[in-house]
Structure 1
């Protein structure tokens, strides 16, 4: 399974794709090595993939907005990953962004049945921001304890744990195997350098 295909619903994966757009040297020292958000074409591909067609803004105008949103969402994930509830201030942040988008409700007839649909009045960057937050809230609704950060401290990849007993600890097998090898080597070094027992 690739890092961008976590097997959950598309709108849930939308927020994960933004959160994981910062790439760290997970095999080395954990330094930031790439910010995909600022790579040519990445943002346009994100919008296309999730069918977020802007009508009143250009893609480049969204770069600072999404950068700030990413920096605000990660601490919320870190809070959840530590088993803590989001604060009232955190919830207010989410609610303010969701309510910043004016919407209208429409009755739609598709030839067989009538349905009530809701749509934004403007498909601008406030709308994109709200859609990303809505995908984050969808994960909260399902199970906030499944929102995790890879236990490789140099990775920082955020994923949704779909394992039956919630025991997944790493983003993928690469990090899992690497951390097992590191622990084995650390134990071996500790054993090799342990002082001999006194006679």
Structure 2
């Protein structure tokens, strides 16, 4: 299951891991990210807009950490989220699709305020439509990759097999040393 907010948060992982650079500052990576999330109408970001996106990534990571630890957000965190959501105006549009009318909510403009609002909205769609206890951070303290646990038993602890193996080997070696 893919979520815009999780991909945005996880992009920060690459700053401290190979390739040791921020993918948001890579125009090719950023263009592909925007394409994946149907945000291609947005012009390339200015330096200020890119800094705003990077700042939002940090806030989203903080909010997800709060959800993982306390299953809640503080009133201040919620107020900050609402400031991002309020920055993008929307309007309704009537459309005919397959012989049926639909009322669709469309952005009044697709600028970087819209990208920030859509990224924030993605987190709250996740929080409102899925169980909070399935939003996880990797159990590897050096990783902390965010993921949504889709396992049947809801017991997944690691982002993937690499981290799971690494931590299990470390624990095994600690037990061997202690025994």
TM norm structure 2: 0.89
Residue pair 1:43, 1:59 contacting (<8 A) in 2 also: no
2:146 matched residue in structure 1: 158
1:96 matched residue in structure 2: 83
Q: 1:117 aligns with which of 101, 104, 126?
A: 104
1:50 matched residue in structure 2: 37
- Matched residues in 1 for 2:8 and 2:144: separation? 13
Q: 2:8 aligns with which of 9, 18, 21?
A: 18
Q: Tell me which of the two structures has the higher relative contact order, counting C-alpha pairs closer than 8 angstroms and 6 or more residues apart.
A: 1
Aligned residues: 177
Residue pair 1:23, 1:32 contacting (<8 A) in 2 also: no
Residue pair 1:19, 1:73 contacting (<8 A) in 2 also: yes
Tell me: CA distance 1:115–1:49, structure 2 relative to 1, closer, same or farther (3 Å).
Answer: same
Residue pair 1:25, 1:32 contacting (<8 A) in 2 also: yes
Tell me: CA distance 1:175–1:25, structure 2 relative to 1, closer, same or farther (3 Å).
Answer: farther
- Matched residues in 2 for 1:75 and 1:32: separation? 23
1:133 alignment partner, SS class:
helix
Q: CA RMSD in A?
A: 2.1
Residue pair 1:25, 1:154 contacting (<8 A) in 2 also: no
Q: Which has more radius of gyration? A: 1
1:179 matched residue in structure 2: 167
Higher helix share: 2
TM norm structure 1: 0.81
Taking the TM superposition and a 5 Å limit, the aligned residue runs for 1:4-153 are: 8=1, 10=2, 12=3, 14-23=4-13, 33-55=20-42, 57-61=43-47, 62-110=49-97, 112-141=99-128, 142-153=130-141
Unaligned 5+ segments in structure 2 are none
